[in-house]
Amino acid sequence: MKSPPDEPEDGVIKFSATHDERPLSEARHATLAAALIAWRAVFVHLGAIGQAESRYGGVGFGNVSGRIGPFPGAPGARPFLITGTQTGGRDCLSLGDFCVVERWNTRRNAVESRGALLPSSESMTHGALYDLGPHIRFVFHGHCPTLWRAARALRLPTSDPSVAYGTPAMAAEVGRLHRETALAEGRVLAMGGHEDGIIAFGRTPEEAGSAFTEALARAYAARFLTDGRLCRV
């Protein structure tokens, strides 16, 4: 077991993770991992997941997760499979690139996880979304400048720009957006304090993925209406 300290820099874990390095069970997790890897490939193709020296100081970005069950599960204890920390730049993924987040506590800023890798730095935010209700089974986080910049025009629920990603405050913002904005009806939100950060969620991977791509198409349409043309994107 290991428990890395909190770290304030972008691109790394900001919470305390009590982590068990036991390998994940292929029999239990391979099917869900396959669905997540498939949609991650779509996000990589869109440029919403990846790693490049020209973006964010070369830090990997983007992650995907899915609920494991049992359902519905108690808030703070709805286990989910998520890509491990700093896997954004990897061309190919296997089950070893995922971990299971079993529990989280926003007040203590802590998660309990297991797998070959430590959990993604966005795990607390994923957990906060799963806490909104057992109907949320998949959460996809990508970085999309076109969609992020159009968030206000598209009236996407947007977190407070002063709130950093991967923190208890961000988890609280997810709850606020659900209570006070169209997030209760929609499936996409923008992260105001996380450059280009967009989150999509849904009951199925197809619902979460299509919510993201549909919002992106709306952003391109809005840009056309503003500029009078839409060149190669």
Domains and CATH numbers, the chain: 16-227 (3.40.225.10)
Q: Check whether 21 has a pLDDT greater than 50.
A: yes
The pLDDT, as a whole number, for residue 32 is 98
Look at strands 110-114 and 188-190 and give their pairing: unpaired
User: What residues pair up with 63 in beta bridges, in sequence order?
Assistant: 141
Q: Check whether 60 has a pLDDT greater than 80.
A: yes
H-run or E-run covering 29 = helix 26-46
The pLDDT, as a whole number, for residue 233 is 60
User: How far is residue 210 from each of residues 27, 29, 70, 204, 220, measured CA to CA in Å?
Assistant: 28, 23, 25, 10, 15
In this prediction, what percent of the chain has a pLDDT beyond 90? 72
In this prediction, what percent of the chain has a pLDDT beyond 70? 92
The pLDDT, as a whole number, for residue 56 is 85
Range scoring the smallest mean pLDDT among 7-21, 32-46, 120-134: 7-21
* Separation CA 130–CA 76 (nearest Å): 8
Q: Summarize pLDDT for 194-215 with one digit per residue, the tens.
A: 999 999 999 999 999 999 999 9
* Separation CA 115–CA 134 (nearest Å): 23
Structure tokens at 103: 């529990």
Coil/strand/helix, residue 45: helix
Residue 142's identity, in one-letter code, is G
Q: Summarize pLDDT for 137-192 with one digit per residue, the tens.
A: 999 999 999 999 999 999 999 999 999 888 889 999 999 999 999 888 889 999 99
* Separation CA 188–CA 195 (nearest Å): 16
List alpha helices for 47-133, DSSP H.
Answer: 123-130
In this prediction the pTM is: 0.92
User: What residues pair up with 197 in beta bridges, in sequence order?
Assistant: 143
